[in-house]
Amino acid sequence: MIWEQLVLPTLTVLLALGIGAYAVAVLDRLIAGALGLSRAGSAWLAPLARGAWLLTQSANVTEAPDWQAWRLAPLLYLMLAAVGLALVPWSASLVATDLATSVVLWGSVEALATVVIFLHGWSANAPLALIGAYRYVALGLSYILISMFVLIGVALPAESLQFTQVVASQAELWNVIRQPLGLPLFLIVGLGVSFWGPLNLADSTDLAGGTASEVSGPPRLAWNLARAAMLVAFSGVAATVFLGGWLGPWLPGPLWLVLKMFAVLLALLLAGRLLPRLSPERCVTLMWVVLLPLSFVDLVWAGLEALL
């Protein structure tokens, strides 16, 4: 009882967090190397060496920060990633929390991410961090709506807000084919929720690291870890709702999910390295004028498909 309801789910989430975040770091470095941005040392060891360095570095102090919020924000972001991962079903039976409303909970994770990222920038009491925080709020409001419409689209054929039901509804046809607009739109949401690559408006180079510009040492490690973990959590959700989750022949279910998560991660990390950071104004215009109407189209498409 305790094993099945407490230990196993916790272990699954922690393992997925740790291994996943490490895999993100290695994969990103391999991609960077393939694109001509080579760094000395082995890609497998580098994330560990970087982590060890951050652990030995002292945690920075700014003048009169909001201490509790500043130290808590990376941990809250990590917790949001953990909540996301807890919802991902690894097989029909292996799922940390099989909520009847898992789609809704994931939506709230995305919304709370905006709050936490703003908190991280605001609480440092430093100008560049604050600008990063302001910018992220503009972005956050824009992508959450897109995410909602896309997720309602996948809940329609399943007639349920439960991720396991959403997977079961894809037994005949994966949602990526059934609703072709859904996955591309959702991938943009993924870049937004982890403010990665083209949507990295919060921690960008023109702000010397933005919300993380004043952070050093272990809190910075926690922040970087949380960002990687959020990518993993997102890729788990994307693989679940669009790529048929654990479904697939020959291999065991969890392995299928891992492979699909890798595919999503690869797409996100490649986009992160190949595309420039959007200017905030372009970004907001793109979201409201192009992508949001496209998500309406996606929803209408899903509705018609469900009726027929």
The packing angle between helices 127-158 and 218-242, to 10°, is 20
Which x/- pattern, by CB under 8 A, does the window 63-102 give for another protein?
A: x---------------------------------------
Question: What does the alpha-carbon distance between residue 278 and residue 191 come to, in Å, rounded to a whole number?
Answer: 12
Among 5, 57, 68, 93, binds another protein (CB under 8 A): 57
Token pair, residue 247, equals 């479904």
Closer residue to another protein in complex, CB, 91/216: 216
Decide: is 59 part of the binding site for another protein (CB under 8 A): yes
Closer residue to another protein in complex, CB, 50/160: 50
Cα–chain-centroid distance for residue 223? 13
Question: What does the alpha-carbon distance between residue 91 and residue 95 come to, in Å, rounded to a whole number?
Answer: 7
Decide: is 40 part of the binding site for another protein (CB under 8 A): yes
Site for another protein in 117-176 (CB under 8 A): 127, 130-131, 134-135
Decide: is 249 part of the binding site for another protein (CB under 8 A): no
Decide: is 289 part of the binding site for another protein (CB under 8 A): no
Amino acid at position 49, single letter: A
Site for another protein in 209-238 (CB under 8 A): 209, 213-217, 220
Q: What does the CA dihedral 94, 99, 103, 104 come to, rounded to 10 degrees? A: -150
Closest alpha carbon to 262 in 31, 19, 23: 23
Decide: is 252 part of the binding site for another protein (CB under 8 A): no
Closer residue to another protein in complex, CB, 118/149: 118
Closer residue to another protein in complex, CB, 29/178: 29
Question: What does the alpha-carbon distance between residue 113 and residue 256 come to, in Å, rounded to a whole number?
Answer: 28
Amino acid at position 108, single letter: S
# residues contacting another protein (CB under 8 A): 53
* DSSP characters over 176-190: HHHSTTHHHHHHHHH
Token pair, residue 167, equals 């997977």
Question: Scanning the structure block, which residue is given the tokens 């990633």?
Answer: 81
Least spacing, CB of residue 208 vs another protein, in Å: 4
Binding site for another protein (CB under 8 A): 32, 35-41, 45-46, 48-50, 52-53, 55-60, 63, 127, 130-131, 134-135, 197-198, 200-201, 204-209, 213-217, 220, 273-282
